[in-house]
Amino acid sequence: MELGLVGLGRMGGNMRERIRRAGHTVVGYDQDPDKADVHSLRALVDALPAPRVVWVMVPAGAATQSTVDELAELLEPGDVLVDGGNSRWTDDEKHAEELAAKGVGFVDCGVSGGVWGLENGYALMYGGDAEHVARVQPVFDALKPEGELGAVHAGKVGAGHFAKMVHNGIEYAMMQAFAEGWELLDAADSVTDVREVFRSWQAGTVIRSWLLDLAVRALDEDEHLAKLRGYADDSGEGRWTVEAAIDNAVPLPAITAALFARFASRQDDSPQMKMIAALRNQFGGHAVKEEM
């Protein structure tokens, strides 16, 4: 099939290559002219035979909204638009309604795989009407890993991004657990080779995983992670996961704690700990450390 792909960054560029390797035609547009096959959304739409499928891979929020708005004016009844970024599922519902009024179908697709997806395939979670999903299925088949697993029609519009959001929330908690375990091992005098402990866990243990493999890879590159600052950003999906848990009255203590730990990583000096130190001094006369 022929596909229009908007956004050719680290993910989108590799996705274009993997789809082409599967024998499909991809017409790509990016704001960077060195990456683009065409140099406007109008040119991309004009280059595709109707009915068209256009896949958007741009940052969530304003960038996705403006791209969807522009494509809504260019696409025709019978076309399908796919949002493969990390959009909030509530935005999907709005986009689907707006596009349906113009006769354009909408599919949301959560994509996982990062920089390894070109060779290993991308895990895909998509939502939308069956007829619209079927139009995109050849691309899903090209992008997914080999074998039966790695792709799912999760439900109606919004389900794909909701599933990817929960996936990322779980990822937060798993990474936090590995990080805490690494720090404790490193702090213990009796453990003399933390890296090799992590490496030994790659076989036979119940916690062996791709994340563990990546942790060992990182430790091989920098055994004590001395080159890194202890700062971790968040993409927003961890926050959305916690918000959704509140809305559905579902307890998520591990994921919530992992999100808050990232917030703590951005503080050079914790205001909360200043108050705790002050209170310990007030009620117990415990020593405090003053700013120099």
| Set 164, 221, 223, 290: catalytic member | 164
At residue 181 the predicted structure's pLDDT band, cuts being 50, 70 and 90, is: very high
| Mean pLDDT calculated for residue range 108-136 | 95
| Set 76, 146, 171, 289: catalytic member | 171
- Per-residue pLDDT at 79 exceeds 70: yes
- Per-residue pLDDT at 114 exceeds 90: no
The pLDDT value recorded for residue 189 is 96
The pLDDT value recorded for residue 292 is 63
Dmax (CA) of the chain: 77
- The Cα 158–Cα 48 span in angstroms is 26
| Mean pLDDT calculated for residue range 235-249 | 91
Q: Does 183 qualify as catalytic in the annotation?
A: no
- Per-residue pLDDT at 290 exceeds 80: no
At residue 161 the predicted structure's pLDDT band, cuts being 50, 70 and 90, is: very high
Burial of 163 from C-beta contacts in 10 A (0-12 / 13-18 / 19+): buried
Q: Does 164 qualify as catalytic in the annotation?
A: yes
Single pTM value for the model: 0.88
- Per-residue pLDDT at 264 exceeds 90: no
